[in-house]
Amino acid sequence: MTNPSLLILPGDGIGPEVMAEVRKIIDWFGAKRGIVFDVSEDLVGGAAYDAHGTPLHDDTMAKAQAADAVLLGAVGGPKYDALDFSVKPERGLLRLRKEMDLFSNLRPAQCFDALSDFSSLKKDVVAGLDIMIVRELTSGVYFGEPRGIFKEGNERVGINTQRYTESEIARVARSAFELAMRRDKKLCSMEKANVMESGILWREVVTEVSKEYPEVELSHMYADAGAMQLTRWPKQFDVIVTDNLFGDLLSDLAAMLTGSLGMLPSASLGAPMANGRPKALYEPVHGSAPDIAGQGKANPIACILSFAMALRYSFDQGEEAARLEAAIEHVLADGVRTADLMGPDGGTPVSTSGMGDAILAALDASL
């Protein structure tokens, strides 16, 4: 039996630094838990442009299509600002998403108790928060036609088209229902059915798909009301499913409930492969942070949590994912802090590698 394959794309800025800590975690699972991956590494973003003149080489794209999962660090930086739009580092990430057809974007918003004071909301509102936003990633207003800036009479007009097919809505809805079945069996669908025909269709299709999942409690909410409720009492939600535009907005709002972008992972999932696993790309929400790159200041937790998501959703290792998440929670509870997590109450300051080592020690203690 062959080992599952994992393609690592560290990328730019702090990407290689945080990914180095993930590699240590991967090695630990191989040595201590017998969970071994065939790991390969390649270039993406600015690093790929520097080497090949393109943000994603065709060979790398082929490796990504063949891998059981892809783990990406971060792309971009001011060094590449003057490049033509077609070869900017971010185009490499967009190509991966498009050609792998990654239509379901999972954005967890989890607030560890030790970091609840970092949120702008009251501690009792966010402490213990653990919700998941499922954002449709490949259609909607960002991709609909017609689009562009046109001349009408004496003035210009900008046009973007919100467009969804039944099948596009149904497949992301099923992804959300499957996720809800693995959690608290509660799903809230958000759209604007009160003013948008696409929202009416969205609500109708999600309701139809819900008949396949009678155990899941389905509710509907207008997206603007959802934003208000996320800031009023976010713990009323478990899984939220929504379209590309609203998902973009709501997931960023939910991210800030937790207090630090350095803590947030994400997963982008596609259709099942021959082995039954979905095509998948895992990445931290944060950017390449070129201002601190190479200084050992980066927080690797979001990237490590992205690997935890890979364990859970690509490799059926939910218990081991929980072990890794518990180790991170233990380290934070002990006051271990990278620079972005240092608050008024202080803590034990550590470097990027120091945080990785602390999580390894906590994993050892879990055995």
225, 257, 289 - which closes a domain: 257
Please pick, among 27, 79, 113, 142, the residue that the annotation labels catalytic: 142
- 248 plus 299 within the same structural domain: no
pLDDT tens for each residue of 324-353: 999 999 999 999 999 888 877 778 999 999
- 10 plus 73 within the same structural domain: yes
Residue 340 designated active-site: no
Q: What is the pLDDT of residue 114?
A: 84
Residue 58 designated active-site: no
Q: Which is more confident, 64 or 341?
A: 64
Among 211, 310, 314, 241, which residue's Cα sits nearest to residue 272? 314
Q: What is the pLDDT of residue 14?
A: 97
- 327 plus 314 within the same structural domain: yes
Query: Is residue 350 one of the residues assigned to a domain?
Result: yes
Q: What is the pLDDT of residue 128?
A: 85
Please pick, among 130, 224, 334, 357, the residue that the annotation labels catalytic: 224
Helix axes 352-365, 15-33, angle to 10 degrees: 20
Query: Is residue 116 one of the residues assigned to a domain?
Result: no
Residue type, 182: R
Q: What is the pLDDT of residue 298?
A: 94
Mean pLDDT of 293-311: 96
pLDDT tens for each residue of 140-159: 999 999 999 999 999 999 99
- 338 plus 231 within the same structural domain: no
Q: Which domain holds residue 196?
A: 130-257
Query: Is residue 272 one of the residues assigned to a domain?
Result: yes
Please pick, among 27, 101, 113, 252, the residue that the annotation labels catalytic: 252
215, 242, 257 - which closes a domain: 257
- 250 plus 274 within the same structural domain: no
- 210 plus 279 within the same structural domain: no
- 246 plus 135 within the same structural domain: yes
Residue 345 designated active-site: no
228, 257, 286 - which closes a domain: 257
Helix axes 318-333, 301-313, angle to 10 degrees: 160
Query: Is residue 7 one of the residues assigned to a domain?
Result: yes
Query: Is residue 341 one of the residues assigned to a domain?
Result: yes
Please pick, among 49, 248, 279, 340, the residue that the annotation labels catalytic: 248
Q: What is the pLDDT of residue 290?
A: 94
- 298 plus 361 within the same structural domain: yes
Mean pLDDT of 237-265: 89
The domain that contains 232 carries what CATH number?
3.40.718.10
Q: What is the pLDDT of residue 204?
A: 98
Query: Is residue 119 one of the residues assigned to a domain?
Result: no
Q: What is the pLDDT of residue 100?
A: 95
Whether 283 has a pLDDT exceeding 90, the answer reads yes
Please pick, among 12, 80, 164, 192, the residue that the annotation labels catalytic: 192
Residue 101 designated active-site: no
Number of domains the chain contains: 2
The pLDDT confidence band at residue 263, using thresholds 50, 70 and 90, is: confident
- 232 plus 338 within the same structural domain: no
The pLDDT confidence band at residue 68, using thresholds 50, 70 and 90, is: very high
Q: What is the pLDDT of residue 111?
A: 87
Average pLDDT of the residues of the chain: 94
Q: Are strands 265-272 and 239-242 parallel, antiparallel or unpaired?
A: unpaired
- 134 plus 242 within the same structural domain: yes
Residue 252 designated active-site: yes
Q: What is the pLDDT of residue 296?
A: 96
Mean pLDDT of 22-41: 97
Mean pLDDT of 256-277: 84
CA distances from 246 to 55, 162, 196 (A): 28, 11, 13
